[in-house]
Amino acid sequence: MFRLLGRKTSGNVQKVIWFCEERGLDYSSEDYGRQFGNTDDRAYLDLNPNGKVPTLVDGDVIVWESNTILRYLCNRTDDATLYPADPGIRSQAERWMDWQLASLNNAYMGIFKETKKPEAERSAATLAAHSADMAAQLTILDGGLAGRQWLAGDAISLAEICLGPIVHRCLGFPIELPALPAVRGWHERFSTRPAFQTATS
């Protein structure tokens, strides 16, 4: 059984829960992070020196970084369904996973943190800057999805599992966003899946 350490309210933990639910993996979900106050404990830091969630424990193997956990689980379970075997199609999934971390994440985290603050402490300028960045990034995603159902090849893949919970939150932020028709259609396609709903509820 895989042990997934991380609070279920974390978007990065939700990626891993979605994967496990989608593939019917045997896993336990354990509460670590923010309100549980246990990620700075020595025992947790020995597993994940970042003190962040998620961390996956598979016997003696410890994996951190949510996207690496997704790839590990695919490799570990020989999953060629969500992790396409064809190198070209796989690269389409991988590039969007890297894009999530390298390009979307800054605006995502910025808006997340700003909107969590009490209203009186929020900076309109900071929120506006992150919102403009988010709009620009999601417009790139919209272009990538134009005329297609999924980000890699013609089926749902690890790219959706990685981006889904994060973009789901981005679309729900109290900010103005462009129309993003391809992104919104894609979001509707995957958000009806029971495994996604379990992960994000």
Interface positions with ligand GSH (CB under 6 A): 7, 10-12, 33-34, 39, 52-54, 65-67
Q: Which is nearer to ligand GSH, 14 or 182 (CB)?
A: 14
Q: The tokens of 114 are what? A: 């700003």
Nearest position to ligand GSH, beta carbon = 33
* Of 102, 66, 96, residue with least CA distance to 84: 96
Query: Between vectors from CA 4 to CA 51 and to CA 193, what angle results, nearest 5°?
Result: 120
Q: Which is nearer to ligand GSH, 52 or 168 (CB)?
A: 52
Report yes or no: 24 and 10 within 8 Å, Cβ to Cβ: no
Minimum distance, C-beta of residue 148 to ligand GSH, in the bound complex (Å): 25
Minimum distance, C-beta of residue 56 to ligand GSH, in the bound complex (Å): 10
Close Cβ partners of 183 (under 8 Å, ≥ 6 residues apart): 138, 141, 142, 145, 167, 171
| Percent of the chain that is helix, strand, coil (3-state, to 5) | 60, 10, 30
Q: The tokens of 62 are what? A: 């410890």
Minimum distance, C-beta of residue 86 to ligand GSH, in the bound complex (Å): 26
Q: Which is nearer to ligand GSH, 52 or 184 (CB)?
A: 52
Q: Which is nearer to ligand GSH, 34 or 148 (CB)?
A: 34
Minimum distance, C-beta of residue 162 to ligand GSH, in the bound complex (Å): 9
